[in-house]
Amino acid sequence: MKVSIFGTGYVGLVTGACLADMGHDVICVDVDESKVEKLNNGVIPIYEPGLESIVKNNFAAGNLKFTTKAEEAIAFAKLQFIAVGTPPDEDGSADLQYVLAVAETIATHMQDEKIVIDKSTVPVGTGDKVRAKIEGVLAERGVEIDFDVVSNPEFLKEGAAVGDFMKPDRIVIGCSKESSEAPMRELYAPFNRNHDKILFMDVRSAELTKYAANAMLATKISFMNEMANLAERLDADIESVRLGIGSDPRIGFQFIYPGAGYGGSCFPKDVQALTRIARDAGYDAELVQSVENVNNRQKHRLFEKLSAHFNGELAGKTIAVWGLAFKPETDDMREAPSRCLMEALWNTGAKVVAYDPEAQEECLRIYGERDDLTLVTNKDAALESADALVICTEWKAFRAMDYEAVVQKLANPVIVDGRNLYDPAIVKNYGITYYSIGRA
């Protein structure tokens, strides 16, 4: 099938590359000329395992193209994906200006029937707004062209997005016209061979499904962090508790790891947006609001533990930080716990020496060159003469600790482990002062 995708960000690029890899002909559109030029030259703007080779192979094969010419892409395909950003507005709601701008562009240039597919994470009712925008533009043009608006939310985990797209748990499609179901089923047929994973529903239910899924996962994380904070006060071990409750198949082991809080482009934004959606509907979503409150508080736990150890005297101290990205296998630092930690340290007059396998450039882009931030090329270099080590991201490279090297290199053998990577008993044997989440 022929497919046009507006947006070459995280969702748009993964969607376009994976559809092309299954044999569809895909054009990806972006207003950023520099980004399109880089993509046409084989430069991938994001780090996502497995994505680069798929993009390059399908670009070379001719079934994945990149352009800034919207009119060309609109004429190319019946299926028009909207995969642009929906950043949080000042009031916490999702900003739909980019989604509606694409809808207007499609309506301005469309000459034949189109299926407009919302792939962006959008509030319930956005499909109605997209439909109204297209109808309004067509009316201004004085033409009648058949179209439908479909909701097709993504469920991609950063660091595993290619696998999630290629082998989805479910494919949620919200249609208002029955005639749109056959083309959408044909589009996803290559991903649907093992058993039928497609869930057809109405547009509003599909839009709510995306928010409900992310809010549920965020709730599990915040709940475990709440229990971890309680475990510390009760002299219990949250890791034992995790095993105890995770063994219950109704709960399971996924998303119940205590830590320094969630971040990234989805959970913080979507939880906040869902709270606003509920408020606009006349409902006070207390649980969802509490999930956000717990997470915002949790992001400061690493600094609190560090500050308590040094009795609040952090000025002039150098703190080693392992991990800058909000999770492993990505360079994304949006809403990352590391940012809360570093900014709090800088406010006290402390310095940071940091290492991350992928997020170094992103950190430099966000904060620029500054005297109180040093980025090093390996984890051991960060330890040299630092007063403490803080682990913010559970990269695989950090899981096996050389405790003797830590004792030798650190000026003070102190570790604040925001991801509970190490066994407290083993760490203690090396004479290291060790703080983790929810464990004595």
First-to-last C-alpha distance (Å) of the chain: 57
pLDDT of the residue at 219: 98
pLDDT of the residue at 265: 84
Q: Provide the CA 383 distance to its chain's centre, in angstroms.
A: 29
Mean pLDDT score, 339-360? 97
Residue 124 DSSP class = T
Among candidate residues 74, 100, 84, the one with its CA nearest the CA of residue 35? 84
Q: Is 137 helix (H, G, I), strand (E, B) or coil?
A: helix
- The type of residue at 320 is A
Cα distance between residue 342 and residue 395, in whole Å: 18
Residue 87: pLDDT band with limits 50, 70, 90: confident
Among candidate residues 421, 427, 379, the one with its CA nearest the CA of residue 400? 421
Q: Compute φ and ψ for 322, nearest 5 degrees.
A: -105, 115
Residue 118 has pLDDT above 90, yes or no: yes
pLDDT tens, 366-378? 999 999 999 999 9
pLDDT of the residue at 94: 80
pLDDT tens, 142-167? 999 999 999 999 999 988 999 999 99
- Find the angle CA(340)-CA(239)-CA(383) to the nearest 5 degrees: 45
What positions carry a catalytic annotation? 266
Instruction: Return left, alpha or beta for 412; rule: phi > 0 is left, psi -120 to 50 is alpha, else beta.
Output: beta
pLDDT tens, 239-262? 999 999 999 999 999 999 999 999
Q: Measured between alpha carbons, how far is residue 238 from residues 101, 134, 352, 422 in Å?
A: 48, 52, 29, 13
Q: Compute φ and ψ for 221, nearest 5 degrees.
A: -65, -50
Cα distance between residue 39 and residue 37, in whole Å: 5
- The type of residue at 243 is L
Cα distance between residue 235 and residue 215, in whole Å: 30
Residue 193 has pLDDT above 90, yes or no: no
Residue 93 has pLDDT above 80, yes or no: no
Cα distance between residue 283 and residue 275, in whole Å: 9
pLDDT of the residue at 338: 98
Q: Measured between alpha carbons, how far is residue 104 from residues 101, 151, 187 in Å?
A: 5, 17, 24
Residue 307: pLDDT band with limits 50, 70, 90: very high
DSSP codes, 173-241: EE-SSGGGHHHHHHHHGGG-SSS--EEEE-HHHHHHHHHHHHHHHHHHHHHHHHHHHHHHHHT--HHHH
Q: Is 424 helix (H, G, I), strand (E, B) or coil?
A: helix
Cα distance between residue 17 and residue 26, in whole Å: 8
Residue 88 has pLDDT above 80, yes or no: no
pLDDT of the residue at 95: 87
Percent of the chain with pLDDT over 90: 94
pLDDT tens, 50-78? 999 999 999 999 999 999 999 999 999 99
pLDDT of the residue at 90: 67
Mean pLDDT score across all residues of the chain: 95
